[in-house]
Amino acid sequence: MAPTSKELPLVAFANRLPVVKARDGWRAADGGLVTALRPALEKRGGAWVGWDGGTSEVPRRVEDLGAIRLHPVQLDRKTLDGYYHGFCNRTLWPLFHDLIEQPAFNRQWWDAYVEANRRFAHAATTRSKLLQETIRWVHDFHLMLLPSMLRPAKEKGPIAYFLHTPFPAPELFSRLPWSKELLNGILGSDLVGFHTDLYRDNFLRSCETILEDAKVEGTRVHTSDGRSVLAATHPISIDAQEFASASTQPDVERELKRLRTQFEGRKVLLGVDRLDYTKGIRHRLKAVELMFERNPSLRRKVSLVQIAVPSRDDVKEYRDLRSDVEGEVGRINGRFTEPGHPVPVHYLYRSVPLHRLLAYYRLADVALVTPLKDGMNLVAKEFVVAQAAGSGSGILLLSEFTGAAQELKQAIMCNPFDVEGLASHIEDALEIPEQQRRDRLSAMAGSVHNHDVFDWTNEMISDVEGMT
């Protein structure tokens, strides 16, 4: 679709506002979405609508977000519990990740989800600054009803929606008692974006089988109110140039030197994940245990560093996961640590600063990116870019059930459910000749540089621009 000559301002809608309160005041939050949208928001002018995190003092602007206006949405405790902790984290998240855990269905959570989406819509329709013509871009599974709630004000410009998680097959999605409502909510958009063709096709097949009054033709859905909605594949990426340049800064080099001394004489396997059951950490640890069990010689030669960023620890499944992971780490170290030698598994239950994360990326001989299901997985992209920038030759072991596997074809692909196979893949990865490792890495880093996060933003915007 050809862009119109007039560049419309952009209003982003996401669960959270892109700011955090630091000791010395408010600043922009770290995170892929802020990085992705900031240039377009700054260039076109724009605003961000998001939950205020429970504090009423969020400023309307923060210095490092330039002219971007912040529009906080307030949610009372009960609505937040039902909407976020309940429907988002305990219903949609497991359902959209192929039922790795069982989703819970609860009508009060659903009511709270509807109410929270209404509050976002209300925030947009009552603020005079947001009443001008804009591109409205709604993000993720938290706000699936919002596009249709924004639709009545159609003079305000086109609506885009992007789903950051997978979209499940219709056979799974239709188990949700509110599957119709969610599809109709998303179909309030003009453009619906997904990471992969599979997720896009699952969405289209769901529209076809679940909605009686919608007609699917190719990648378009014709709605009963006479509109045509485009479903498109636009895989998210990272700011590759910035990651590459940050990876060789003096603070990273210093940290890397320290880590190389610490792990001298050992090959390093690396896992970096939010502590989430979708990320396959339990299966990964079992595979590492099996590897040590059947290769006693590797016990002094290989270490696993697992960074597990605390996440959703108010949900039982996440607390259980933490205790399983910590039990498994304890068991492996108890079984395989040799007196006078370092432990085989270094487990960090925390978020590390970016320069340290980059040093770990550069240190690793093999990155274990083995989710059971993952919309994209940015760690995989960050790893190959950081390694290539530091002239490394690390191997990426990548689950075939990630969106990233559709792009990073030179990774060693694995099925993380197959623990024995995964152990064999790790053993084999440690033996890959250097030239082959370098060739694989440079092809993958090249593909991330060729399609970075700004391409993603521009493609979504240029698809939706002029669609009204």
Q: Which residues are catalytic?
A: 164, 374
d(C-alpha 217, C-alpha 418), whole Å: 38
Q: Which residues bind ligand GDG (CB under 6 A)?
A: 30, 32, 164-165, 236, 272, 274, 307, 309, 351-352, 354, 357, 374-379, 382
Amino acid at 121: A
State whether the Cα torsion 15-75-60-144 is positive or negative: positive
Closer residue to ligand GDG in complex, CB, 41/379 = 379
State whether the Cα torsion 271-273-275-281 is positive or negative: negative
Closer residue to ligand GDG in complex, CB, 69/449 = 449
> What is the CA 389 to chain-centroid distance, rounded?
23
d(C-alpha 430, C-alpha 467), whole Å: 50
d(C-alpha 337, C-alpha 328), whole Å: 14
How buried is residue 125: exposed, middle or buried, by Cβ count under 10 Å (0-12/13-18/19+)?
middle
Q: Cβ of residue 63: shortest distance to ligand GDG, in angstroms? A: 21
Cα separation values, 98 from 118, 171, 206, 234, 304, Å: 28, 10, 15, 21, 28
Closer residue to ligand GDG in complex, CB, 151/381 = 381
Closer residue to ligand GDG in complex, CB, 377/410 = 377
Closer residue to ligand GDG in complex, CB, 79/237 = 237
Q: Cβ of residue 436: shortest distance to ligand GDG, in angstroms? A: 26
Q: Cβ of residue 102: shortest distance to ligand GDG, in angstroms? A: 19
Q: Cβ of residue 312: shortest distance to ligand GDG, in angstroms? A: 11
Q: Give yes or no for a contact between 244 and 386, defined as CB atoms under 8 angstroms apart.
A: yes
In this structure, what is the dihedral angle of CA atoms 420, 360, 372, 322, given to the nearest 10 degrees? 90
Closer residue to ligand GDG in complex, CB, 231/272 = 272
Closer residue to ligand GDG in complex, CB, 187/308 = 308
The answer for residues whose C-beta is within 8 angstroms of residue 415's C-beta and 6 or more apart is: 399, 400, 401, 421, 422
Task: Tell me which residue of 156, 194, 160 sits closest to 14, measured CA to CA.
Answer: 160
| Helix/strand/coil for 358 | helix
Q: Give yes or no for a contact between 142 and 164, defined as CB atoms under 8 angstroms apart.
A: no
> Kind of pairing, strands 220-222 and 228-233?
antiparallel
Q: Cβ of residue 374: shortest distance to ligand GDG, in angstroms? A: 4
